[in-house]
Amino acid sequence: MSVSKSWIWRSSLSTLLTVLALSRVVITENYPLPIVNTDVAILGGGASGTYAAVRLREDYGKKVLLIEMEAVLGGHVNTYTDPETGEAFNYGVQSYIDYEGAKEFFERFEIPLQPNVLFSSTTVDVDPNTGNIVPNATVPPPLNGVIAALEKYYDLIVPWNDLMLPGYWNFPPGDQIPADLLLPFSDFVAKYDLGDMAPIISVVSGQDINTPNPTLFVVKNFGATVVEGFLNNTFFDPVPFNNSLLYGDAERFLGDDVVLTSTIVEANRSYNGISLVVEDVQTGTRTLVSAKRLLVASQPSINNLAVLGLDEQEKAVFSTWSYGTVYTAVLKTNLIPDNTSVSFVTPANSTSAQKPYSFGITWNGAPGYFWIIFSSTEDLSETEAKEAIIAEMNTLYNGGSFPPIGSSAPSSEVVAISNHSSVVWGQSVEQLKAGFVQDLYALQGHKGTWYTGGLWCPDYSSNVWAFTDTVLPKLLEGLD
């Protein structure tokens, strides 16, 4: 981990002993370690962590150290650059909601903005087992039916804004939770005749309108701000259409206050302070970080945060998450024409075994390139996910409906892939009624540790930033 000299202070023996007494960290072969003294250590350089670092340093005047495992900031923002044309291809976050201070964050870095960049394409339904086109597999509802259903849905969920936006600080306990929020979403859809919005909820939030999950789980990621963006066409993107620009600018702006390819290997947390041993995973270099507060902006699972020495209160909450394997990828192929997307649909009369994964192929504006969101019920590695995608492309070719374009030989390659596997809300209705949300938020400030990110609020960058704005003043209370 590269740390500038301005960060490293060689303390007197008495000061060093004080730090070590606070940390209670066993340091052997690496002793003595260089020491970094900061106000707030931030774990995770995705949307929330990067935003928090900028705001804490620039708007609150605090010293920060942003610790990120990857080689770049941005989290689920992924951009592939065509080596021949230099054209950027976003295969993670696609656009932003015009919510609270989202546009101001881009303006801080003088990044121009534009209305949401959209690419239209014709969707072809294909049997994933044979590669054959499935005629009339899906018949979308008329556009006016979709809009009417969305407007009805919006009117139903707007009264819950105070409970859910930008976070769940005001979420009620037990029997005070609105009954409709606890209904299986499929029942909620049937109750209010919302079926026509199925295509939009699938494309915008990746959720199935027939899911048995509580309505709360759907609304938290397909809420009023998202629906407003769709109905009023207020989503926006940067100019040029490269969502990694913001995080590249933020990384340069924060300079030595960011350490990349780094992780925490030892830690001690208390209300009196935080001590972390941070290791650069590429060089093995270790640094002792002494902070007044810790802000966790990465996924708070038991495995991810085990190094923090979670106590029973924390484990009880974090053990209730569900887990999903998700990859997002860029496919380069000569089998699918531009302006065409492929949806894999198993016919109702199929006798083939259900595959443990699913994905769609979406044309996203760049000739010859396609965007894939790959999900699996099994814990597949990156290599296994790529192999599954290529196997499906071979099936597509063998089906005969997609001959190679401009060549006699088929060519398909996954040129970029990113692991978006995550922990998600999966609590039962009984757990929600028993106070899960209140138990979750009771961890804010526990042992000097605060949290932000998509598990603590609706998981869209603009909303995550707004939620972070509610956390920072609380984190800073009593901080000298």
Name which residue leads in pLDDT, 203 or 113: 113
Can you read off the two tokens belonging to residue 340?
């065409």
pTM over 0.85: yes
**Average of per-residue pLDDT across 29-48:** 90
Would you say residue 31 has pLDDT above 80? no
pLDDT tens column, 418-466: 999 989 999 999 999 999 999 999 999 999 999 999 999 999 999 999 9
> Which residue(s) pair with 326 in the sheet?
375
Give the DSSP letter string of 55-119. Answer: HHHHTS---EEEE-SSSSS-TT--EEE-TTT--EEE-S---B---TTHHHHHHHTT--EEEPP--
pLDDT tens column, 10-27: 333 333 443 444 444 444
- Domains (ranges, CATH) in the chain? 13-74+244-319+428-476 (3.50.50.60), 79-121+322-423 (no CATH), 142-232 (1.10.405.20)
Residues written for the chain: 480
Averaged pLDDT score across all residues of the chain:
91
pLDDT tens column, 158-197: 999 999 999 999 999 999 999 999 999 999 999 999 999 9
Torsion of CA 399, 332, 419, 222, to 10 degrees: -80
pLDDT tens column, 126-144: 999 999 999 877 778 899 9
pLDDT tens column, 357-392: 999 999 989 999 999 999 998 999 999 999 999 999
Q: Are strands 273-280 and 286-296 parallel, antiparallel or unpaired?
A: antiparallel
- Cα separation of 472 and 474, whole Å? 5
